Amino acid sequence: MGMTMTEKILAKHSGRETVAAGDLLISQLDLILANDITGPPAIDEFERIGKPVFNKDRIALVPDHFSPCKDIKSAEMCKRLRDFAREHKITNYFEVGRMGIEHALLPDSGLVAPGEVIIGADSHTCTYGALNAMATGVGQSDVGAAMASGTTWFKVPAAIKVELKGKLPRYVRGKDIILTLIGMIGVDGARYQSLEFFGDGIGELEMSDRFTICNMAIEAGAKNGIFPVDAKTLEYLKGSVTRDFAAVEPDSDAAYTREVTIELDELVPVVAYPHLPENVHPVSEAGGIRIDQAVIGSCTNGRLEDLAQAAEVLKDNKVHPDVRCIIIPATQEIYMEAMKRGYIDIFIEAGVAVSTPTCGPCLGGYMGILAHGERAVSTTNRNFRGRMGHVDSEVYLASPYVAAASAVMGRIAGPEEVIK
């Protein structure tokens, strides 16, 4: 029996010729990630082991969740991360002003390459599967042990084959694809499985779309999501990844637990209603649901292409007087390029609050907390009860096109209502 992309990567990193779903193995790691929330507990576990870091160049520490620090407790957590990075001379520590949201920052910095195994003490580490890596979130104690050993254990996941066919309609992007998929299979539909993407429709996707799709693989319960490498992948990697890498493709006889086909031509902009990402509806059926806040950013949709979509909608328009709109570029480099292209001017002239890179409101941290009864449309990845603030607030997940249009209209709306 042949192997999937994920199985091939794990086989190579565990020194085996073949692996199969359900196998237990120890894998070498190419990169280990922690942030200002998960890093301090991981450091505690690491220090109990009493060994040096296995490789100072293969650990990435990013203070992005509550940073720039929102209060004394978050400042102490960031200091713990900073002190550890200095003590162990961690190469890839990203300080405020030179940082970004981790899952945009690391691939843009050339720290992720095809065929690699990457773990992070953050569930959305699965984002890097867009670059043909086996990337997944793990617990803080696992990261602590891995920083000493350079290894971790896996149960090899089974896989679901997702075939993307056809061409994308106007205003439909990666966020609509992954929300549609989650709506089809449910938030536990891929539990501890790999979502492996195929089909001629992949060529329709920009890298930003692929990052968004893999980012939310975890919202379907998946262990990881992964794309094959094509010309767009190689163009993205050019100039940033200088080391050798080995991309993988699945064998023709690889085993899948199920196959799902998505006809891109048939997709429409969608929105996930509270309080689960699987509660997906066409935007056209929103029926005038009024909003108090719109958030565009996060590790899911804070890339330059996402900001371009928001700018297309907001140009020559104003945020509705009853709405607060917050836009957060995912990295400093994205922020600077958005300024050069005039996006930031468009946002501010429209009445938007533009922030330095941070996770902030996505996890209910700060810079956009919802009060009792308030409603937000957001390009983030989760809309669980209380995720962005009060337990009786509501979060609707959508693409940058939809979030920006909703900010203008004061209700959940599609971009075609605003762009004339």
In this prediction, residues 341-347 reach a mean pLDDT of 98
Yes or no: say if 343 and 308 are a contact pair by the CB < 8 Å rule: yes
Q: Do residues 239 and 285 both lie within one domain? A: no
403 in any annotated domain: yes
- SS3 (DSSP) at 312: helix
3-state secondary structure 31-55: EEEEECCCHHHHHHHHHHHCCCCCC
- SS3 (DSSP) at 193: strand
Q: Do residues 214 and 71 both lie within one domain? A: yes
Q: Do residues 235 and 291 both lie within one domain? A: no
Q: For 107-143, how does the pLDDT look when each residue is reduced to its tens digit (9 = 90+)?
A: 999 999 999 999 999 999 999 999 999 999 999 999 9
Q: What CATH number does residue 94 fall under?
A: 3.30.499.10
User: DSSP label at 100?
Assistant: B
Q: Do residues 204 and 103 both lie within one domain? A: yes
Q: Do residues 118 and 197 both lie within one domain? A: yes
Helix H or strand E segment including 143: helix 140-149
211 in any annotated domain: yes
Of 209, 228, 262, the one marking the end of a domain is 262
160 in any annotated domain: yes
Q: Do residues 241 and 311 both lie within one domain? A: no
174 in any annotated domain: yes
Q: Do residues 154 and 276 both lie within one domain? A: no
Identify the pLDDT of residue 239.
83
Q: Do residues 220 and 290 both lie within one domain? A: no
Q: Do residues 168 and 300 both lie within one domain? A: no
Q: What span, in angstroms and rounded, lies between the C-alpha atoms of 294 and 325?
A: 5
Q: Do residues 293 and 314 both lie within one domain? A: yes
In this prediction, residues 181-207 reach a mean pLDDT of 96
- State yes or no: pLDDT of 287 exceeds 90: no
- State yes or no: pLDDT of 420 exceeds 90: no
CA angle 76, 77, 82 (to 5 degrees): 95
CA angle 94, 95, 99 (to 5 degrees): 60
Identify the pLDDT of residue 175.
98
Q: Which domain holds residue 360?
A: 272-417
Q: For 4-20, how does the pLDDT look when each residue is reduced to its tens digit (9 = 90+)?
A: 999 999 999 999 999 99
Identify the pLDDT of residue 57.
97
Identify the pLDDT of residue 288.
86
Of 262, 291, 306, the one marking the end of a domain is 262
Identify the pLDDT of residue 77.
95
- SS3 (DSSP) at 142: helix
Q: Do residues 152 and 209 both lie within one domain? A: yes
Q: What is the largest CA-CA distance in the chain?
A: 63
267 in any annotated domain: no
Yes or no: say if 332 and 98 are a contact pair by the CB < 8 Å rule: yes
Bigger pLDDT: 386 vs 401:
401
123 in any annotated domain: yes
32 in any annotated domain: yes
Q: For 407-417, how does the pLDDT look when each residue is reduced to its tens digit (9 = 90+)?
A: 999 999 999 99
Q: Do residues 124 and 21 both lie within one domain? A: yes
Identify the pLDDT of residue 112.
98
- Work out the number of other CB atoms within 10 angstroms of the CB of residue 263: 12
Q: How many domains does the chain contain in total?
A: 2
Q: What span, in angstroms and rounded, lies between the C-alpha atoms of 343 and 324?
A: 18
Q: What value does the mean pLDDT of the chain take?
A: 96
Q: For 71-86, how does the pLDDT look when each residue is reduced to its tens digit (9 = 90+)?
A: 999 999 999 999 999 9
**What global pTM score does this model have?**
0.95
For residue 138, with 0-12 CB atoms within 10 Å meaning exposed, 13-18 middle and 19 or more buried, which class applies? buried
pLDDT band with cut points at 50, 70 and 90 for residue 99: confident
Of 201, 236, 262, the one marking the end of a domain is 262
Which residue in 187, 197, 167, 157 sits closest to 24, CA to CA?
157
313 in any annotated domain: yes
Identify the pLDDT of residue 89.
97
Bigger pLDDT: 99 vs 396:
396
pLDDT band with cut points at 50, 70 and 90 for residue 32: very high
